[in-house]
Amino acid sequence: MRLPSDAMIAAWQPAVTGIVEVFHAEYAKHEYPVHTHDAWTLLIIDGGAVHYQLDHREHTAFGTTITLLPPYLPHDGRVAAPEGLRKRVLYLDGSLLDEALVGPAADDPELRDPLLRTRVGQLHDLLAEGGDDLEAQCRLALIGERLRAHLRGGSTEPRVRREARLALRLRELLDEHTAEGVRLDEAAELLQAHPVHLIRAFRREYGLPPHRYLTGRRVEHARRLLLAGTPPADAATAVGFYDQSHLCRHFKQLVGVSPAYYARLSQGVTRPPSRRTSPAG
């Protein structure tokens, strides 16, 4: 189906449990008829605004808010700004938000939470890049926790107990499966801990989230392979990155140079000159 000239759309299904679909759209003008979704709709606006009616009440979604629409609840929508509308949507299944939260979401679908807004945007960026699955799962788990706290009227900043043993067991698990990776839900089941609790316990003990630790370990392994003469593309897949560009992005962040440059060190091309001083005569 051909899109109108004033619309651009991207949509895909990521391999992340809990996300049914990712949908990005830009409209110069558009009007949605009344409709429903069979999943939770988590919407952020990057430009413009949209008016919509939900449960016979008028609402407006714009850049600083997060909109959460429950499944099977009819709503419509109209672009409400002269500059048009740019939006990003995550459709989430019931594993993240249960039916008991439908009522509170219907009563107040607009959430004003800058940290949550930032986290949702970061997850979209990651999904668009085709980034690490564990990172996407960790980010989604923290988003789900914050959404549930809003809808239940509790604190969005839960207390975190220090559990060094649990964090160590997760670190050991990540070390044992660096190349193939570990899914967050699998780790949680194996270690008998809630996924969000697992993330927070690890961060409290080691100062960074599990996915960032795993990325660092993969970069370390890649460095050893590159110095041993392994081509960057082969090193990337050997340590668990999707391809060379995926390795390059993280490698440059952590090391400061590209994998190809680093690989040349194994040939002695970029070694610094000796700084030894001649003995005094």
Q: pLDDT tens digit string along 224-250?
A: 999 999 999 999 999 999 899 999 999
Residues ≥6 apart with Cβ < 8 Å to 265: 226, 227, 271
What is the separation of C-alpha 90 from the centre of its chain, rounded to a whole number of angstroms? 11
Residue 73 main-chain phi, psi, to 5 deg: -105, 120
Q: What DSSP element (H or E) covers 281? A: none
Place of tokens 């003008």: 29
pTM for this prediction = 0.80
pLDDT digits (tens, 9 = 90+) for 48-67: 999 999 988 899 999 889 99
Beta-bridged to residue 85, according to DSSP, are 27, 48
Determine whether domain 215-267 maps to CATH 3.30.1300.10: no
Domains of the chain, by residue range, sit at 7-109, 164-207, 215-267
Q: Residue 238: name the closest of 257, 258, 256, 219 by CA.
A: 219
β strands within the chain, DSSP E: 7-12, 19-27, 31-35, 40-48, 50-54, 57-61, 66-69, 75-79, 85-92, 110-111
Low-confidence ranges of the chain (pLDDT < 50): 1-4, 270, 278, 280-281
Locus of tokens 């993969």: 218
Q: Please give the pLDDT value at position 3.
A: 45
Structure tokens at 58: 């008028």
User: What CATH homologous superfamily does 7-109 map to?
Assistant: Jelly Rolls (2.60.120.10)
Of all helices (H) and strands (E), which one includes residue 247?
Answer: helix 244-255
User: CA-CA distance, 165 to 212, in Å (whole number)?
Assistant: 19
